[in-house]
Structure 1
Amino acid sequence: MQIAWRAISETTPGPIWAGLFAQYWPAYRRWFLSEGADARPTYLECRTALQQHMPEIMPLYEALCDLAGGGDLSSRFLSFYRPPPYLSGCSQAIWPGKEPVIVRNYDYNPLAFDAIFLNTGWHGRRVMGSSDGLWGLVDGMNDAGLAVSLTFGGRRIVGDGFGVPLILRYVLQTCETAAEASDVLARIPTHMSYNVTVLDRKRRFATVYMAPDRPAIVSHNAVATNHQERVEWEAHARMTATVERERFLLQRLTLHVEPEEKFIGAFLKPPIYSTAFDRGFGTLYTAVYRPRKGEAELRWPGARWPMRFNGFVDETRSIHVPAPVAQQKPA
């Protein structure tokens, strides 16, 4: 399976982002309306919620709404407030070596994926990471040396809150330390359950278990897969092997401290690496963030793509993602 990835940078919101929105909006519009327009909150509700919970990014939100054409529906979508539910897989862990490093696999449907690594300097804060919804992020880091990554929390409950990719954007726009990020993640309401791991340049880290129906839990866990303190959705847990993946990573972290490269390599092989694309949980990429160095990498079996704040290069790459034998065409 080939995926066309793009590395894109824009210091201030402008024509590049507007072009991306014009390209992706038809697909996102269909998804946003999948349950009907009345199932989504009104523009006033969206704006009020953003103003209440994330006031610092209101000017950025307004600028992006203008670039998207200023329409009611697109502005509601860009708020990420009470979006349609969606599920992902994912594994993430903090490597316990001398250099602060967070490694993650993003397991998701390749047909519902931006495939953009976005580098921005919006409102004076440099942020780069894997795009979702064109300004939200599923993982990333900022120039203050803070990195974040998410996994689905393995619960079916949907509530009154924001899509977590926007929450990650907000964290990276406004926070500099793991403690600040943890406080924000515990405060902002999320519409579904997610586990967000944060790591700063001084090796301080936390994993926050977010949920729409109960207070967030801030833990010192270095590993997160697709459940929280215990499995609550048995069928999803079995399908994604969340317990097995967590156990595998914990064993690698606790039995001995292995070299960084060997630890990263474990994410490119089973049981962490998944080819379950037919169920929407295949590994689309492995991300490695080194927040103190301002460096990141996207990896696949047999390929790597380095990124850095200093010397970021805009380019497009066609990435081969291994598919299971049943999905491969005969030679």
Structure 2
Amino acid sequence: MTTVHTDITQFRGSHYDFGCAQGLFIQDSPVLRNRQANWRVRKPRFEIDEQDAKNAFIRFAPGIWDELLGLRDALNMPMNDVLRDFGHYRVNAKPSGCSILTGSDFMVRNYDYHPLTYDGRYSFFQPTDQGYAIIGPASRITGRMDGMNEKGLVMGYNFMQRRKPGDGFVCYMIGRMILETCATVHDAIMLLKEIPHRGSFSYVVLDRNEDTYVIEASPRSVETRKSNICTNHFEILQHENRHHLDDSYRRMDRIKEKNSHSVNAHDAFRLLNDTDKGVFSKLYKSWAGTIHTTAYFPKSLKAWFALGGDQEPVEFDFSSWLKGEKITAEPIYGELDTHLGLANME
């Protein structure tokens, strides 16, 4: 077992200043060193044109471009390196797991991936220039793998496959853009139909109207369906699926067995976080081990977070934070059944 931790960060201000603050936070941290060491081992198999990337950000989320400029200035990095490490446009994403279950007023989500890719940062951000305030764990500094915004829109995504990538944004940046620019599930659907996709993922969204959708997105097409369960296979875009889906179907069956349409949030959290229920994964070396379990509540703007399995979640009151209250910024600790640490560890 390895003891791991997630730091809590809170920021109110412009996107540029947010980028600067994040740059100062990570400049002497293992997160940045591990990220750069990764590129020395694994040479990028993609090219990013700075003007092309800028045009894409300006069209869909101009504030995030300002954030990247802040990171550039704080870290004194060439813009091409900033785009490689933090832009998430035309980069490649590794395969992963993940399971999501929603109810009338909650989403519970297991994030399954490789520990060394995990930032170990839980972010509160309230922009003063543009975009909605967001709560959720950060992915590659600027991205979000799940989260909730001030309008009560909740988002999580699940990997499907990475064959035939397109020229577009990667899932964690798309997740951030959904939360930053969309107020309802229908806004999210419109954005996902317009934005260019690098890979194939399902995005699960829930809002205060109790609307929940699974949006199946690939570089070639986007389809939507009503469902409250999602693992790692498409149900509409089946021709886009991977060949080996046994574990995805197994986790979905385990969730369905628990009468998921009537389960409450606490039971849903235990179903995904308890290591003996059949949904929590320990496949860390295969890029599919559960690192965190989150829950979001659109109407109350409460959020739960747990690192590792068999944990009682830490609760955050996002509504109070939006009104100016600071939350306790102590790190959150957990254990993973692996010798691998997170990116925020030496």
Name 1:312's counterpart in structure 2. Answer: 327
* Match of residue 254 from structure 2: 248
CA contact (8 A) 2:154 2:207 kept: yes
Q: Secondary structure at the match of 1:234?
A: coil
Per-residue CA distance 1:112-142 (angstroms, 9 max, x = gap) = 1111111111235321111111111000011
Map of 1:89 onto structure 2: 97
Q: CA deviation at 1:250?
A: 3.0
- SS of the residue 1:59 aligns to: helix
Match of 1:129?
136
Where does residue 5 of structure 2 map in the other structure? 4
Judge conservation of contact 1:154–1:233 (CA < 8 Å) in 2.
Answer: yes
1:302 to 311, 314, 322: 311
| Cα distance in structure 2, aligned partners of 1:200 and 1:92 | 15
Amino acid at match of 1:50: F
What TM-score do you get using the length of structure 1 for normalisation? 0.87
1:191–1:14 CA distance, 2 compared to 1 (3 A): closer
Secondary structure in structure 2 of the residue aligned to 1:153: strand
What residue is the counterpart of 1:117 in the other structure?
A: 122
Distance 1:68 1:228, change over 3 A: farther
Query: What does residue 344 of structure 2 align with?
Result: none
The 1:314–1:152 alpha-carbon spacing in structure 2 relative to 1, beyond 3 Å, is: same
Kept in 1: contact 2:294–2:305 (CA 8 A): yes
- 8 Å contact 2:95–2:162 — kept in the other structure? no
What amino acid is the match of 2:100?
Answer: Q
Q: Residue 174 of structure 1 aligns with which residue?
A: 181
Which whole-Å CA distance do the structure 2 matches of 1:20 and 1:210 have between them?
A: 34
TM-score scaled to structure 2, two decimals?
0.83
Q: 1:147 maps to which residue?
A: 154
* In 1, Cα distance between equivalents of 2:133 and 2:56: 25
Sequence identity of aligned pairs in percent?
22
Q: List runs of 5+ in structure 2 lacking aligned partners.
A: 321-325, 340-346
Equivalent runs, 1:180-329 vs 2, <5 Å: 180-212=187-219, 214-229=220-235, 230=238, 232-235=241-244, 237-238=245-246, 241-253=247-259, 257-269=262-274, 270-299=277-306, 300-309=309-318, 310=320, 311-323=326-338
| Structure 2 counterpart of 1:108 | 113
* 1:40 paired residue among 36, 43, 47: 47
* Matched AA of 1:302: Q
C-alpha change, 1:208 and 1:32, in structure 2 (3 Å) is farther
Residue in 1 that maps onto 2:26: 21
Preserved CA contact (<8 Å) 2:178 2:188: yes
Structure 2 SS opposite 1:50: helix
Separation in 2, partners of 1:30, 1:42? 23
* C-alpha contact 2:152 2:298 (8 A) present in aligned 1: yes
Separation of aligned partners in 2, 1:170 and 1:27: 25
Encode CA deviations 1:4-32: one digit per residue, 9 max, x unaligned: 21111111216541233323233223445
Does the CA contact (< 8 Å) of 2:19 and 2:68 recur in 1?
A: no
CA distance in 1, matches of 2:133, 2:164: 34
Q: Report the CA distance between 1:71 and its aligned residue.
A: 1.7
Question: What does the per-residue CA deviation read over 1:74-116, in whole Å, with 9 as the maximum and x for residues that have no partner?
Answer: 33223211113312110001124xxx10000011111111111
The answer to whether the 8 A contact 2:149-2:180 is kept is yes
Q: Decide which moves more: 190-199 or 71-80.
A: 71-80
Mapped partners of 2:32, 2:53: distance in 1: 18
- Cα 1:30–1:156 change in 2 (3 A) is farther
Question: What is the Cα deviation at residue 39 of structure 1?
Answer: 2.7
- When the two chains are superposed, the root-mean-square deviation of aligned CA atoms in Å is 2.3
TM-superposition CA deviations, 1:135-174 (whole Å, max 9, x none):
1100001111111001101353322111111111111111
Query: Contact 1:32–1:83 at 8 Å: present in 2 too?
Result: no
Q: Secondary structure at the match of 1:40?
A: coil
2:215–2:223: 8 Å Cα contact kept in structure 1?
yes
Matches of 1:35 and 1:110, distance apart in 2? 17
**Structure 1: 5+ residue stretches without partners:** 325-331
Q: Which amino acid aligns with 1:152?
A: F
Shift in Å, 1:48: 2.6
